[in-house]
Amino acid sequence: MKKLVVIGLAATMVALTGCSDSKTTTQTSTPTGSTNASATAKPEKLTLNWSVTSGNLANVNLPAADKDFVKKAIEEKFNVDLKIDYMMNGKEYYDKLNATMAGGNVPDMFISGGAESQKYISDGITGNLAPFLTKAAVPNYFKWVSEDEVNAYQIKQGEFFRGMNIFPRNTYAAWHIRQDWLDKLGLKAPKTYDELTKVMVAFTKNDPDGNGKNDTFGLSAAGNGANLPFDFPQWLNNGLVADFMIANNTYIDNRTDLKVEKVIDQVVDWINQGVVDPDWFLNKPGAQLDKASQGKVGMYFSGDKTTILDSNPTSVANRSKALDPKANWVPIFPLDQPIIWKNNVAVDTILISKTTAEKTPDKIKRSMEILNWLTGDEGFLLTHYGQEGKHYTKDGKKITLNVANFEADIAKAGNWLNVYNAFVPDEPKVLGYELVDPRINDHDRAILKTVESYPKHDALPPVSLVPPAGINIGDFRKEMSKYHIKGVLEDKSGKNWPQYREELMTKFKGRDIFTEYTKTLNTALKNKLNDFK
């Protein structure tokens, strides 16, 4: 354990999945002023086009103009007409974004995954952020991330083409299981892979819901028609924690490790036993949660800390109880492994349009002003907790939710504030606030404490890992995923994985990529050691 440091890097490794219907707001409001306007003049009104994505935009729809108090506040405060396109993180988001860009309409500011950003930058679509994303221009942004982190996040040192989208430092990765099903079948919570397999079989074949029908499965996952996701515990069971690790100053890519052969074999074994939801491969992110809520499966994986909380009206727990009052979901670490996951790392990037930056830079400056507001006290509170006096009260740095109004206007309306807080996680402590949420009961506190206690490794890298010039990591990952699925669905065995892996390492330049990563890491670690000395 002392020799093993898990480092995650969204810049090159993140496998993005999931989608939802895209929505674009087109309503406008009459501006009343701007924080940057003088008493006698205000800046020219600008139309801004943004495109945002995150993992919590499933089934989210912005409300009508008269109820969208965030959009109204932004447009009045900064004298803009904000058009914001939003969608759940995943293939459909990038398909739509790429189609828009192909038509010559690059959003003025947009969120992109790390791998995707590499291509946008290399294709010359994005603009230089150096004049805009500075500590002087967006001081609030740099309360959440350090200048060193943002500088290390660049694809090429000395250039500044992507901002680090702010990410939550804590992680809540866990599998969640139906405790009431375990109780009904007289089973104990599994602690090893063999025990877990027996539970999955029992959930599938022993009628855990007691309806007399053979209509349940052990596990559901979200392959999004493209991936073998980490939802499957077989990855961790073979010592492959998240996407990559560093051992002895050498880069180890978990998803192309030789151990993937065993991962595929074990996944195929579960599929052959019928314990996996047969729709797992085509499931889009969120579909596995729907099936869990509907009582069709007994276990799923999630990194969302609210997924089984009583305080989240749309949680799997609450939706399950609406159908079966006895439903009892609990977090579980079902394997005898030293760690379950990694602490969070930057996943997404903030990019700007090169055309906009060069021809109408005021649009980028105005977007940065809004970003600064979103990451400061006023914007953070409005986009996370609603309107003061209506949705929450504030006593110094203590924020207390008005649950009835918050749920009626925001939570039960689809948590639409998630569109606007895609740039900033819900971590009020960063700004010195204490959140009092009356919905959080002892049950929820116990769940959060349990999940937080699961052992994880720090994973923020000292430098951005990028492939050699001319090699796109996104293209490599697509080929890698094809081989994963070929092994599971066509070969129905991991026996051909060594051959597939060799093709990835040679034909698709994997060895060149990972050698470059190791070289970059060694240089960065040596520099840090010298700084320490």
How far apart are the C-alpha atoms of 13 and 467, rounded to whole Å? Answer: 11
DSSP 8-state class, residue 413: T
pLDDT for residue 16: 32
Residue with the two structure tokens 């810049």: 11
Which ranges in 29-161 belong to alpha helices (H)? 69-78, 91-102, 114-122, 147-152
The tokens for 217 are 């499965």
How far apart are the C-alpha atoms of 43 and 360, rounded to whole Å? Answer: 14
User: Are the C-beta atoms of residues 288 and 231 closer than 8 Å to each other?
Assistant: yes
pLDDT tens for 451-508 read 999 998 876 665 667 788 788 888 999 999 999 999 999 999 999 999 999 999 999 9
pLDDT for residue 288: 96
**Of the candidates 463, 420, 483, which has an alpha carbon nearest to the alpha carbon of residue 74?**
420
How far apart are the C-alpha atoms of 186 and 170, rounded to whole Å? Answer: 34
Strands (E), 163-242: 163-164, 174-178, 217-219
CA–centroid distance for 217 within its chain: 26
pLDDT for residue 320: 97
SS3 64: coil
How far apart are the C-alpha atoms of 408 and 401, rounded to whole Å? Answer: 12
- Output the CA angle 314-384-68, nearest 5 degrees: 85
pLDDT for residue 115: 81
pLDDT for residue 463: 62
The tokens for 108 are 């003025």
Q: Give 279-321 as a DSSP string.
A: TTTTPPTTHHHHHHHTTSEEEEEE--TTTT-TT-TTSHHHHHH
**Of the candidates 508, 422, 406, which has an alpha carbon nearest to the alpha carbon of residue 165?**
422
How far apart are the C-alpha atoms of 427 and 431, rounded to whole Å? Answer: 8
How far apart are the C-alpha atoms of 3 and 364, rounded to whole Å? Answer: 44
User: Are the C-beta atoms of residues 57 and 422 closer than 8 Å to each other?
Assistant: yes
CA dihedral of 246, 247, 248, 251, whole degrees rounded to 10? -50
Enclosing H/E stretch for 4: strand 4-5
Q: Tell me the β-bridge partners of 353.
A: 126
How far apart are the C-alpha atoms of 84 and 419, rounded to whole Å? Answer: 9
Query: CB count, 10 Å around CB of 2?
Result: 4
pLDDT for residue 457: 82
What is the spatial order of strands in the sheet that 109-113 belongs to? 23-24, 80-88, 46-54, 109-113, 348-352, 163-164
Residues above pLDDT 70, as percent of the chain: 89
DSSP 8-state class, residue 144: T
pLDDT along the chain (533 residues), means of 10: 36 35 39 42 92 86 94 97 92 92 96 90 95 97 93 84 90 95 98 98 97 97 96 97 78 93 98 98 94 98 92 92 97 96 86 98 98 98 98 97 94 92 94 94 95 83 73 91 98 98 96 88 61 36
Residues with Cβ within 8 Å of 396's Cβ and at least 6 positions away in sequence, in order, are none
How far apart are the C-alpha atoms of 159 and 466, rounded to whole Å? Answer: 13
CA distances from 446 to 197, 330, 429 (A): 26, 10, 20
pTM over 0.75: no
DSSP 8-state class, residue 488: I
pLDDT tens for 223-262 read 999 999 999 999 999 999 988 877 677 778 999 999 999 9
Question: What's at 363, amino acid-wise?
Answer: K
pLDDT for residue 518: 85
CA distances from 92 to 18, 60, 125, 204 (A): 8, 15, 19, 32
Residue with the two structure tokens 């992110």: 285
> 3-state DSSP helix/strand/coil percent for the chain, to nearest 5?
40, 15, 45
